[in-house]
Structure formats: structure tokens, C-alpha cells
Amino acid sequence: MLRLMTPERTPDLAQITGGREVTPELRRQLIDCWVAVTNSGGAAGFPFAPVRDDDVAPVTDELLGRLHPQHSRLVVAGFDDVLAGWVLLDRAPSRLVGHWGTVHHLQSHPGCRGRGVGSGLMQEVRKIARDELGLEQLHLAARGGEGLEDFYSRLGWREIGRWPGALRLAPDDTRDEALMLLDVL
């Protein structure tokens, strides 16, 4: 069960570079977080709520199976061993694009919103990308119409383009996908 935290406390951050580092308890919390975020309307990879464990668990396992110290890192945030959020940083192994990475699935548990979880995760991803992976840029795609562009721009990201009408959430709800860039150095 998620306990509410005091706003002035910053989350503990950790990175995971291999699926074997993920305990069954952490796996359970990752799935629970993803279900809670999606079912509360969050734009974290599953566009059609509601989702259940059966929907999220296989995708989580696939994501964990791809973790690798050289090209895929999971960064988790928590308070007192309770997962508050997470994000994935991927880097293509190709030399052609190996100087940049892609950020996926940033999410903070709805019970932890407003406590710096998302900002803390993004600052940690930037540090890992620059200091550990030697990356020069980070990219991400954000669902338009959610205010995410403002959140990311406060953290130094800039919008570099859009895919107009790329996401159809419902027959009457088509959204742009905003393409964002962060120059890490």
C-alpha cells in the first residue's frame, strides 16, 4: 500500500541496469504503478484505460528483459522502499545514433504527485545519460493535450516538432505527439 509522503522530502533514486536486479516486490510495484498511472489518465504507454495486471505484466517483463548496462537503464524513485515512480532510458547500440538516448514511460504514482518524483527522475536520467553513458542528447515523444510539453520545458527540454494527429484515443479525441529534445551537455 502506498503511504502519503511529506512534500518537502525528496524521493530516493536508484538505477537498474539488468532485469536480475529487479526483485519480485519491485516488479509488483512497477506493475501496480503503471496500472494506477494509466487508469488515472496518465500518458505512460497504455492509451486505453482501464488496464489490468494481465495487460501490464507482460509489457513490464519485456521491458525488464531488455535492460542492459550499455544501452538501457531503469530509474526508480521511492519513499521508504515504496515505489513512487519510474522512467526508462534507452540508447540505440548503433554507432550512427549512439550519441543520443530516448526516454520512455516517465510516470509517478498518483498518490505521489506534486512531490518532485517526475522532476527528480528526469534530472537523474539526464545525469546518467551525460556522466555514465556519454550521451549528448535525449529525445522523447509526449502525448499532446496533457500539458506535458510545459512540464518538460521547465526541465530544459524543447519541442522540436510534432506528429499532427498521430494519436487517436477515441473517435473524437485525436492528439498530436510532441517531439522533445534535451541537449545533455
Q: Calculate the average pLDDT of the chain.
A: 93
| Residue 155: Cβ within 10 Å count | 14
Neighbours of 183 (CB within 10 A): 11
**3 exposed, middle or buried (CB, 10 Å; 0-12, 13-18, 19+)?**
exposed
Q: Is the pLDDT of residue 5 over 50?
A: no
pLDDT value at 93 more than 50: yes
Report the length, in residues, of the chain: 185
* pLDDT, tens only, 104-161: 999 999 999 999 999 999 999 999 999 999 999 999 999 999 999 999 999 999 999 9
Say if residue 3's pLDDT is above 50.
no
> Three-class SS of residue 82?
strand
Give the C-alpha distances (Å, rounded to integers) separating 141 from 21, 45, 157. Answer: 28, 11, 11
What is the reported pTM?
Answer: 0.93
**Cα separation, 160 vs 98, whole angstroms:** 20
How far is residue 111's CA from residue 55's CA, in Å, rounded to a whole number? 22
Residue 134 CA to its chain's centroid (Å): 20
* pLDDT per position as a tens digit, 57-88: 999 999 999 999 999 999 999 999 999 999 99
Give the β-pairing of 100-108 and 12-16: unpaired
Spatial distance between the Cα atoms of 98 and 114, rounded to a whole number of angstroms: 34
Residues 177/140, Cβ–Cβ less than 8 Å: no
| Count of Cβ atoms closer than 10 Å to residue 70 Cβ | 10
